[in-house]
Structure 1
């Protein structure tokens, strides 16, 4: 059985060499933008977190951001005793649990996402992911009978929220798992904290959930962000796109998987079947304004497949996506067709019919 952990950077960030001079924004509260960023790297959220701020003397901003990430990790952890999510799961079928307002906010957002995706995104997937435990030392392939018994406990509609009391109740047998949304929520929270300190130019990377602030100090096109090669786990890319003040989130079969009897089982589960999604996608990268939306869409699009996924993205404003199929074909939404630069000869652009 093989275990692969998400690498240092699952999205390769190609930040072009910056100009030697400083750049000052006109806003009286804005900070000078500098050549070399202040960078902090920490092992958090079961991955590697890297924060880069292109202003001087931002130690306090870094400390505040790291403290916030650690605090949110404690609130949202499934396995940490005393965390909000662990308390909710332990109290399943017994009582409603009062939670931190931020925990309530993220669960409320998750429910809205579940409604919008018709249940393709569902944080009550924990009943099944706890059987597989992909990414854990205890990862295994559960029996078909185990999976069938768990499926009735996956239903976002059974999560009961009391907005006034800030309480959460789930039915007996249910388990919440926020791994598909928590990093997006936290990345957006870091950005809010940076903005309060008048930071305009930064890159927030939570293990592949990349959130850029402002634009590259050298290139007016923006930050040059690579689209992850789904067959590699070390930041290799198939192409790149310039973005400004944008979130870039990738989901792929390369991230975490186990292997048994020559067959690989990746970590993206279908809440309707209890098994890893089996379709034509090997990876999808989503470009949105918020990392929270990127998290939700990257999972939902994986479940929809390329044809229906492109149809959904092309119907949305301010959202783009790149799909990579299992034959090394690259499919992009309409807004990226002239913006995606192919950088890997093993892959080819596909023109949709």
Structure 2
């Protein structure tokens, strides 16, 4: 059996020309120019920034304005490391790891972070009918996509893993701040919501520091454009072409004080016997989702919401996903289908500029 392993590569590209910089990073390109400027006007001070390797990805934080301080970047690093140490499925000793090890045996006392993010995950599991399910851990471990040894499991293995999925079997005790998985071998995986939650926590911290202009980028999949750019300009966010390498843009959107999260087939995948298997697993079938979509991008006020919804809506597919999004206040999305057609929710009309002629915007 011939298997070809392909892993997504995180890239950081900086091009500086004529005072304008383009940052292309893991699914989005972040353009710092943001439109025409009066060259005679005073230019804002350079941001302070830091790059970390956390959540098994590259994290970049840029802070703008007079209240931005280097010490805040260190506080943010410590905050993100703490959250990762709580929510990681694979890190031995993390709270999620301990919950999984105790499945079917006993409740585990956890931090407020872990309790809150799992409660939010369970809320979305209910809302999406289990298409987003934080107990998908056994299926994620079985496929192992994104790591060496990824392979197509047998039907027996898939049936066993699917039988362990069930968000209704998570027992939450808010009084004791404990979590228990009711059945042995169940396992949580908060990868579909954890980075969004962490990004929201960073934004909340910065508000307490009176920082009102920042770019928070967790691996390109969860991005918060906090406030506006210095001078009141919009952030100009490039949108990933799902058929090309990371950082290749198919267009851009200008936003102020919004978050963007994208799920797509380009992120993590492997090829076995000529068939490509991506990492967005459908808990109903046990296989990578076959919804007719290449990617879904969510634009909302909350990175936590956007992170969970980008996964669930991808699995829903275009028709069901669009109907769902249109009912959610303050949340918009655009969908790219397998045949390169782009559909956008009503709140995005005339806000996204698509530049790649290989894709067709359906009005």
State TM-score, norm by structure 2: 0.90
- Secondary structure of 1:151's counterpart equals helix
**Separation in 2, partners of 1:288, 1:218:** 23
RMSD: 1.6
Any unmatched runs of 5+ in structure 1? 24-33
What is the Cα deviation at residue 339 of structure 1?
A: 1.2
Of 210, 225, 236 in structure 2, the residue corresponding to residue 212 of structure 1 is: 225
Equivalent positions of 1:175-254 (< 5 A) are 175-208=187-220, 209-218=222-231, 220=233, 222-254=234-266
Larger mean CA deviation between 342-351 and 79-88 belongs to 342-351
Out of 69, 72, 92, which is 1:81 matched to? 92
2:346 is aligned to: 334
Kept in 2: contact 1:19–1:35 (CA 8 A)? no
Q: Note if contact 1:78-1:177 (Cα within 8 Å) is conserved in structure 2.
A: yes
Deviations 1:316-335 (A, max 9, x none): 22111111111111111111
2:130 pairs with one of 119, 123, 127:
119
What are the ranges of 5 or more consecutive residues in structure 2 without an aligned counterpart? Answer: 12-24
Contact 2:240 2:246 survives alignment (8 Å): no
Runs of 4+ in 1 over 4 A off after TM superposition: 17-23
Q: Following TM superposition, by how much is the alpha carbon of 1:343 offset from its aligned partner in structure 2, in angstroms?
A: 1.4
Asked whether 1:168 is paired with 2:179, we answer: yes
Counterpart contact for 2:212–2:226, Cα < 8 Å: yes
Aligned residue for 1:226, secondary structure, equals strand
Residues 293 and 318 in structure 2, CA contact (< 8 A), matched pair in contact too? yes
Task: Kindly indicate which of the two structures has a greater share of residues assigned to strand.
Answer: 2
- Partner SS, residue 161 of structure 2: helix
Is 2:13 aligned against 1:3?
no
CA distance in 1, matches of 2:342, 2:360: 6
Post-superposition CA distance 1:325-353 (Å, at most 9, x none)? 111111111111211111112111113xx
| d(CA) in 2 for partners of 1:86, 1:186 | 18
Contact 2:137 2:186 in 1 (8 A): yes
CA contact (8 A) 2:8 2:266 kept: no
Instruction: State the alpha-carbon separation in 1 of the partners of residues 288 and 109 from structure 2.
Output: 33
